Structure 1
Amino acid sequence: MSQSPAAPLITLAPGVLYLPGAVNSFVVVGRGTDALLVDTGLDDAHARKLLRAVEAAGLTPSGILNTHSHADHHGGNAQILRRFPELKVFAPPLEDAIITHPILEPLTLFGARPPRELQNKFLLAPPSPARLAPEPGLCRIGGADIELIEVAGHASMMFAVRVGEVLYAADALFGPEALEKHPLTFCADSGLQKASAAALAQLEGVRTVLPGHGVPTDDLAGLVAVNLRAYGRTTQAVLAAVRAGDASIDELLARVCGALGVTMTNAGAVVLNRAVVSAHLTELLELGRVEMKVSGNKLIFGVQA
């Protein structure tokens, strides 16, 4: 059976391209035919599409940069490294450890060695040997000149990537459809998530912004505003759930899901959304809006007295 034609890379600017998908892969052309691959997708299937598209464009992978350690952004590393074992993988601090030891992601979400149901490709990518990326600022990786911008919040650490007038926002910003589909937008630190998004709006000279999930837009300020409204709506939903009566995190999660129209049908969704509620509770605790106590052998959250 003949192989289907490769989906082409889409040009955002000269030497700056991307492969659309459930997660976008960002490609920056460096010296000659060198191509830095930024985020390799969820699995081998996406990685194969990425490699075919890069090859069809006359380019050769010269390095991998993972903006953060969530499985859908580095799950394709292993397939690419099988083809190009000499490539170096770069990632932000802490994120490099999780990419190297992916069991840390479901272990952290579950709080102990995760059951088999949580050891799937959405939470547990194949391991790849990641190393620390350069500090934020102008740098060269895989022969490509880029600017790394710290945008922690969605993950413990994360980098956006700027090349001239093009910004790959990674998961600091989501497209409107992704926000509507996933109203409990994942975050490790909801306060930082909001601050990072707001900081991106202050960038000057950005003509095109590509979110990690969604389509490119020329309206950076508008995209930031949509994301900040969504993040704030989650905080308010968590606060309203607490105001409905003292409750545990799991009880609050059920209330928040009811308010936002979220239906969870598997354990992965529960642990991910539980983490989101926990992040917003921490923000509200630090703002003095809620309090935490132990009652009846349960960790309980209530309105600040």
Structure 2
Amino acid sequence: MAYKLSHITGNSYAFEGAVNIGMYHRGNGKCTLIDTGIDDDGGKRIINLLKVEKLEIDSIINTHSHADHIGGNSIIQKRLNCDIYATKIEGAIIENPIIEPLYLFSSTPPNFLKNKFLMAKSSKVTKIIEEDFLDIEGTKFEIVHLPGHSLDHIGVVSPDGVFYTGDAYLSKDILEKHGFPFYQDIGGALKSLDYLLDVKYPFYLPSHGILENNIEELIKTNKRTIVEIIDFILEELSQPRSTEELSQGIFHRYKINQTPSQYYLTWATLSAYLAYLNNRGDIEIKFYDNQLKWEVKDS
């Protein structure tokens, strides 16, 4: 994966690529990364690019535990003995990456789910993030809790006011290409998007998208996408349907290219919507000839 180091403002930078990676130069030749990309090769490239700038990575903050965000952790930590910071749930997965394909499959996963896109190499989380600020040798980063895309997802704000938002929201291009984006917590996602509508920062950099100064319309588009999916599911459940039947409808409606990995990612996201609607009291489970089906709850 090719990366280009771009200056944002002050001591805040980004490695631009398929997955954007944040970098903050803390002085004295030390820097902090926000996420590390998808694999060892990307991690090596980052190390080498920073050597040219006479910078060494001594710390990594992971926004969440998905493999495309932590894939460079292992090689960077192995070579530089750096600290890794993450929230409690995400940290457990970073240290035990088999959990990601495990929760997608709900059991010991088949080998086709144990690929670099869904299962990174293990790395050691040296500090669990619990507060709203993280102090790394005198440099304070604001930590913003943004559950939704993953359960314990965070965004990181540099001292320059650059908000590295991870996968808390997606670009318009990504939403148009992937109309059924991955979520683990729909209620959390809606609250996180509402939060992002209410706050103002000078710069926003998502992991999948471009640097922007104003994301209000983009956040509204992300929220509208979720609401439209909710409406579609409720319409489908005007008659009893199994999760498998609903999944088939999702694949057709959103023209999703079906692969084994994509099937289970779609299933997991659909499950998040079903849990949200069930917890909200909109839908219920009934059994028909020993088959579990969902349907809109009688008012």
- TM-score, length basis structure 1: 0.92
Equivalence for 2:191: 195
| Residues 1:97 and 2:63 are matched in the alignment | no
Alignment partner, residue 112 of structure 2: 117
On the 8 A contact 2:83/2:127 being kept in 1, the answer is no
Letter in 2 for 1:52: N
Which one-letter code corresponds to 1:286 in the other structure? N
Structure 2 unaligned blocks of 5 or more = none
* Structure-2 separation of matches of 1:34 and 1:254: 50
Contact 1:138/1:146 (8 A) holds in 2:
yes
Q: CA RMSD in A?
A: 1.6
Match of 1:3 in 2: none
Name the counterpart of 2:64.
68
Instruction: Pick one of 253, 263, 280 that aligns with 2:273.
Output: 280
Structure 1 residue 57 displacement after superposition = 2.5
Match of 2:264 among 256, 268, 271: 271
Q: Does 1:170 align with 2:170?
A: no
User: What's the counterpart of residue 248 of structure 2?
Assistant: 254
How far does residue 7 in structure 1 lie from its aligned partner after superposition? 4.5
| Maintained 8 Å contact 1:246/1:302 | yes
Q: Which stretches of structure 1, 4 residues or longer, exceed 4 Å deviation after superposition?
A: none
SS at match of 1:236: helix
Greater Cα offset, 112-121 or 221-230: 221-230
Task: Give the length in aligned residue pairs.
Answer: 296
Q: How big is each residue's C-alpha offset from its partner over 1:162-218, in whole Å with a ceiling of 9 and x where there is no partner?
A: 1232111111111111112221111111111111111022113x1211111111111
Structure 1 pair 221/279, CA: closer, same or farther in 2 (3 Å)? Answer: same
SS at match of 1:64: strand
- The Cα shift of 1:222 comes to 2.0
Counterpart secondary structure, 1:17: strand
Match of 2:83 in 1: 88
SS in 1 for 2:58: strand
Q: Letter of the aligned partner of 2:260 in structure 1?
A: A
DSSP 3-state at the match of 2:31: strand
Mapped partners of 2:287, 2:84: distance in 1: 43
Change (3 A) 1:7 1:123: closer
Question: Is residue 93–residue 132 contact of structure 1 (8 Å, CA) maintained in 2?
Answer: no
| 8 Å contact kept, 1:136–1:147 | no
In 1, Cα distance between the equivalents of 2:226 and 2:137?
34
Distance across 2 between alignment mates of 1:217 and 1:288: 38
Unaligned runs of 5+ in 1: 1-5
Q: Which segment drifts farther, 214-223 or 99-108?
A: 214-223
Q: CA separation of 1:60/1:279 partners in 2, compared to 1, >3 Å: closer, same or farther?
A: same
Match 2:203 to one of 202, 208, 215: 208
The 3 A distance-change label for structure 1 pair 75 and 143 is farther
Distance 1:195 1:250 in 2: 28
**CA–CA separation in structure 2 for the residues paired with 1:261 and 1:61:** 41
Work out the percentage of aligned pairs sharing the same amino acid.
Answer: 31
